[in-house]
């Protein structure tokens, strides 16, 4: 049986250990925080059509 010991960091592509790595699948806290920042700033997107805008001030809903 061959267990995976390392993975490539999704951000920098450096080899990172799986066992005992608190930042896995990232190699470091820096790469983890960069990835989180990209998610928070909506840097990752799925291509497609924009959703229709909803008008919260529409009085027809009363």
What domains sit in the chain, N to C, each tagged with a CATH number? 1-43 (3.30.50.10)
pTM of the model: 0.64
Rounded Cα distance between 20 and 29, Å, is: 14
SS3 39: helix
The whole-number pLDDT of residue 59 equals 56
CA atoms of 3 and 25, how far apart (whole Å): 16
Residue range 4-59, pLDDT digits in tens: 799 999 999 999 998 999 999 999 999 999 999 999 998 888 888 887 888 776 65
Q: What is the pLDDT of residue 33?
A: 96
* Number of CB atoms found within 10 A of residue 40's CB: 8
Residue 62 has pLDDT above 90, yes or no: no
Can you give the pLDDT at residue 9? 95
């Amino acid at each position: 049986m061959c267990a995976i010991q390392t993975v490539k960091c999704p951000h920098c592509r450096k080899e990172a250990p799986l066992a005992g790595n608190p930042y896995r699948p990232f190699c470091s806290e820096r790469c983890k925080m960069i990835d989180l920042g990209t998610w928070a700033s909506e840097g990752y997107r799925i291509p497609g059509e924009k959703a229709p805008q909803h008008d919260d001030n529409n009085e027809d809903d009363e």
